[in-house]
A and B are shown apart, each in its own frame.
Chain A
Amino acid sequence: MLQERYRVVGMLGIGGMSSVYQARDMRFPTVTKLCAVKEMVIATSDPQLRQLTIKSFEREASMLAMLDHPAIPDVSDYFTEGNRSYLVQELIRGKNLQEWLEENETLVDQELALDWALQICEALAYLHNQKPQPIVFRDLKPSNIMLDQYNRIRLIDFGIAKIFEAEENKGTMIGTEGYSPPEQYRGEATPAVDVYALGATLHHLMTRQDPRLEPPFTFGERPIRTVNPTISPALEAIVMRCLSYNPNDRFPDATALKEALELITQTSPSRAEIEQLVSPPTTVSAPTGHHPTITAVTTAIQVGATKAEAIWAFRCEDEIRSKPIVVGGRVFVGAYDNNLYAVSSDKGEFLWKYPTLDGIASTPCLYDDLVLITSSDRHLYAIRQHDGDIKWRFPTDGAIYSSPSVRFDHVFFGSDDGYFYAVNAKRGKLAWKTNAYSPIRSSPFLTEERVYFGTEGGYIYCLEISTGKSKWHTQAKRAITSSPVVADDIVFVGSLDATVYALDAGSGWAIWRFRARRPIISSPLVHEGVVYIGSSDNNLYAIDMDTGRQVWVYEAGGQIASSPAIWNDAVYFGSVDGNIYSLTLKRGELRWRFETEGRVIGAPTIVDGVVYVGSTDHNLYALPA
Chain B
Amino acid sequence: MDNELHAPTEIQTSPLVTTEEKTQIETAVSVPNVPYLHVAQRCDVGAVRQRNEDSSLIFSSETGGHFQMMPFGLYVVADGMGGHENGHMASRIASRMAARHILNHIYLPLLQDDSAANQEPIQEVMETAVLAAHKAIYDPESLSDSGTTLSVALILSRRLYVAHVGDSRVYLLADDKFEAITNDHSLVQHLQDVGDLTPEQAAAYQYKNVLLRAVGQTEELEIDTYTRRLPQTGRLLLCSDGLCGFVPDPVIHKIMQQNVALEKIADKLVATAMSAGGYDNITAIVVEFAF
Contacts and interface: CB of A to CB of B under 8 A. Distances in A.
Contact of B1 (A431, A434, A475, A507): A507
B13 A466 contact: no
Contact of A448 (B6, B27, B116, B228): B27
30 contacts: A433-B16, A433-B17, A434-B12, A448-B28, A448-B29, A459-B11, A469-B13, A470-B8, A470-B11, A471-B1, A472-B116, A473-B116, A474-B115, A474-B117, A490-B229, A501-B121, A502-B121, A504-B116, A504-B122, A506-B1, A507-B1, A507-B70, A507-B114, A508-B6, A509-B157, A510-B121, A511-B161, A511-B227, A513-B121, A547-B225
Interface stretch (B18-26, B77-85, B145-153, B185-193): B18-26
Interface in B3-59: 3, 6-8, 10-14, 16-17, 21-29
Interface in B105-129: 114-124
A431 B23 contact: yes
Interface string A484-508: 0000111000000000011110111
B226 interface: yes
A472 B227 contact: no
Contact of B118 (A465, A466, A475): A475
A4 interface: no
Nearest to B10: A437
A548 interface: yes
Contacts of B158: 489, 506
Nearest to A459: B10
A511 B119 contact: no
Nearest to B70: A507
Contacts of A409: 25
Interface in A441-496: 448-449, 459, 461, 464-475, 488-490
B129 to A, nearest CB: 14
A464 B29 CA distance: 11
Nearest to A499: B121
Most A-side CB within 10 Å, residue of B116, B226, B227: B116
B216 to A, nearest CB: 24
Given A433-B16, A467-B25, A468-B13, 7 more contacts: A432-B25, A469-B13, A488-B228, A508-B115, A510-B121, A512-B122, A547-B227
Nearest to A464: B3
A410 interface: yes
B27 A449 contact: yes
A546 B119 CA distance: 18
Contact of B115 (A429, A433, A434, A472): A472
A510 B116 contact: yes
Interface in A512-544: 512-513
B17 A430 contact: yes
B94 interface: no
A442 to B, nearest CB: 14
B25 A473 contact: no
B11 A410 contact: no
A510 B21 contact: no
B159 interface: yes
In which size bucket is the chain B interface?
35 or more
Contacts of B24: 466-467
A455 B225 CA distance: 30
B256 interface: no
A429 B115 CA distance: 33
A435 interface: yes
Nearest to A422: B25
A432 B22 contact: yes
B14 A546 contact: no
A192 interface: no
A150 interface: no
A432 B122 contact: no
Nearest to A412: B25
Contact of A466 (B25, B124, B159): B25
Contacts of B157: 504, 506-507, 509
B266 interface: no
Interface string B122-156: 11100000000000000000000000000000001
Contact of A431 (B6, B25, B115): B25
A612 interface: no
A28 interface: no
**Which size class do A's interface residues fall under?**
35 or more
Interface of B: 1, 3, 6-8, 10-14, 16-17, 21-29, 70, 114-124, 156-159, 161, 225-229
A422 B115 CA distance: 25
Contacts of B156: 504, 507, 509
Contacts of A473: 8, 10-11, 115-117
A546 B13 CA distance: 33
B285 to A, nearest CB: 22
A512 B24 CA distance: 34
Contacts of B13: 432, 434-435, 467-470
A432 B26 contact: no
A546 to B, nearest CB: 5
A433 B17 CA distance: 7
Contacts of A459: 8, 10-11
B116 A474 contact: yes
Given A433-B17, A469-B7, A471-B3, A511 B122 contact: yes
B122 A430 contact: no
B117 A432 contact: no
Most A Cβ at <10 Å: residue of B10, B11, B122, B225: B11
Q: Which 4 A-B pairs have the closest CB atoms?
A: A508-B116, A510-B121, A472-B6, A512-B123
A407 B26 CA distance: 10
A419 B14 CA distance: 8
Contacts of A465: 25, 27
A573 B11 CA distance: 34
Given A472-B115, A507-B116, A431 B14 contact: no
B122 A510 contact: yes
B229 A408 contact: no
B7 A470 contact: yes
A151 B159 CA distance: 86
Contacts of A503: 116
Contacts of B3: 464, 469-471
A472 B8 contact: yes
A409 B23 CA distance: 13
Contacts of B26: 408, 466
B122 to A, nearest CB: 5
Contacts of B16: 433
A468 B159 CA distance: 25
B25 A410 contact: yes
A490 B17 CA distance: 31
Contacts of A490: 229
A435 B7 CA distance: 13
Contacts of B121: 501-502, 509-513, 548
A320 B280 CA distance: 67
Given A433-B14, A504-B156, A511 B123 contact: yes
A193 interface: no
